[in-house]
Amino acid sequence: MRPIASLLVTAFVLASPLTTTNLLAQTPAPAKPSAAQAPKVKAAVPQVPQVAMTPPMGWNSWNYFADKVDDKGIRAAADQMVATGMKDAGYNYVNIDDTWEGERDASGVLHTNAKFPDMKALADYVHSKGLKIGIYSSPGPKTCGGYAGSYGHELQDAQLYASWGIDYLKYDLCSFIGDVMQKQAPNDPAAQMRIMQDGYEKMHQALKSTGRPIVYSYCTYGWDAVWEWGPKNGANLWRTTGDITPDWDRMYAILSQQSGLEKYAGPGHWNDPDMLEVGNGKLSLSENRVHFSMWAMLAAPLLAGNDLPNMKPEIKAILTNRDVIAIDQDKLGRQAAHVYSDGEVEVWARPLAGGAMAVAVVNVGSDRYTTHPFHLNLAKLGLTGPQKGKDLWTGKDVELTNGEALALPSHDILLVRIDAPKK
């Protein structure tokens, strides 16, 4: 059983989509002034525009370039986002992951390392393309790559990011675990979790105080049910698992772990099953399709992580499939649920704005004989009678009927949008 406190947090999160108004309402109320002291006119509270009202889309350097990222690579990624049509399809963040950090000077100001000679100029360049720029740090003294983290310098770093024009921060737990949580509260996991939450809240407040709209991305690998406490500590998205790798088994393991988390996602606050590996590693074309489709079904951030200057046309076609992107970016912001499984075939569905619906049927079996006929059970999806829809990978109109026999190859997907589902 979950403790009452955590249930209350859940109830709060569910009942409170993160608007600027209720974000402010979550800040502890200051002591009431006496009637004599009470100001006649309310002081203006700085309003930071809302961010991530649909899942963030963009590109991040880590999955393909890792520590090879540099100024030139980021400029090339920005150029390619425009040239390939990704920007037109909705991708707008170009995010620098770990390994950009240099040393702090005597006043504690962090400098970039030699790979990034002028971060402000780089941000200006990315902005000049009509794109936004993201950066990476850790609440600990060191990042996962062993570079300088923000511990003890949260406000200074937030101000630095704002001065450069940064629009997105990925904040990765890393050394905070060993150097802070375990040191400050040895053998006390509950206290360690409180310290972790405080560490993230500290940067939340620091970012807020800059007045700049900055997407705040938690990288806490799902620790301590981050979906319950992250949103009230300013998280616009939070990693739900450890790292993704570009192979079916890891991608599918992460997909499976998202089932049940759908109630925590909504405009301004999203589950993050990690960045895309589309076009990377060992994923076949159909596996790339499944990965992209299911991240869209999950209302996940769509952060490509491939080598954009050398992207193959078939990978570009996947990443820029506007019908699939529209599922991810649907204004209702409702994440798909795993509705049922029939052997190795899984059926997921999500409601869409205007009463529409998206249905994904995935053959997750790895055996070459698993192209077994499977019959669709529309009743389990709450649907009655034949349903007219669009197959989002062939672009063709389809009609789904109850009991219909489908034969999907192993690791392939049928993704259908039904605009007017008959219930």
Catalogue the active-site residues: 172, 243
CA–CA dist 56, 100 (Å, integer): 22
β-pair type (93-95, 237-239):
unpaired
Q: How far is CA 269 from CA 20, 91, 205, 227, 314, in A?
A: 12, 18, 17, 9, 31
Show the CA angle centred on residue 63, arms to residues 157 and 362, nearest 5°.
125
Tell me the closest approach of the beta carbon of residue 66 to ligand GAL, in angstroms.
Answer: 7
Nearest by Cα to 209 from 159, 136, 157, 140: 159
Nearest by Cα to 347 from 367, 357, 362, 333: 362
Nearest to ligand GAL of 62, 164 (CB atom): 62
Show the CA angle centred on residue 295, arms to residues 291 and 297, nearest 5°.
115
Nearest to ligand GAL of 219, 337 (CB atom): 219
| Interface residue list for ligand GAL (CB under 6 A) | 62, 97-98, 143-145, 172, 174, 219, 243
CB crowding 271-303: b at 16 or more within 10 Å, else e: bbbbbbbbbbbebeebbbbbbbbbbbbbbbbbb
Nearest to ligand GAL of 255, 360 (CB atom): 255
Calculated CA dihedral for residues 327, 333, 334, 338, nearest 10 degrees:
50
Tell me the closest approach of the beta carbon of residue 268 to ligand GAL, in angstroms.
Answer: 22
CA–CA dist 370, 410 (Å, integer): 6
Closest residue to ligand GAL, judged by C-beta, is 144
Tell me the closest approach of the beta carbon of residue 235 to ligand GAL, in angstroms.
Answer: 15
CA–CA dist 94, 248 (Å, integer): 26
The sign of the CA dihedral 137, 140, 142, 144 is: negative
Tell me the closest approach of the beta carbon of residue 213 to ligand GAL, in angstroms.
Answer: 22
Strand partners, 300: none
Nearest to ligand GAL of 172, 287 (CB atom): 172
Nearest to ligand GAL of 145, 351 (CB atom): 145
CA atoms within 13 A on the CB side of 297: 31
Nearest to ligand GAL of 122, 276 (CB atom): 276
Nearest to ligand GAL of 174, 418 (CB atom): 174
Cα-only R_g, the chain = 22
String of DSSP letters for 91-135: --EEE--SS-EEEE-TT--EEE-TT-S-HHHHHHHHHHTT-EEEE
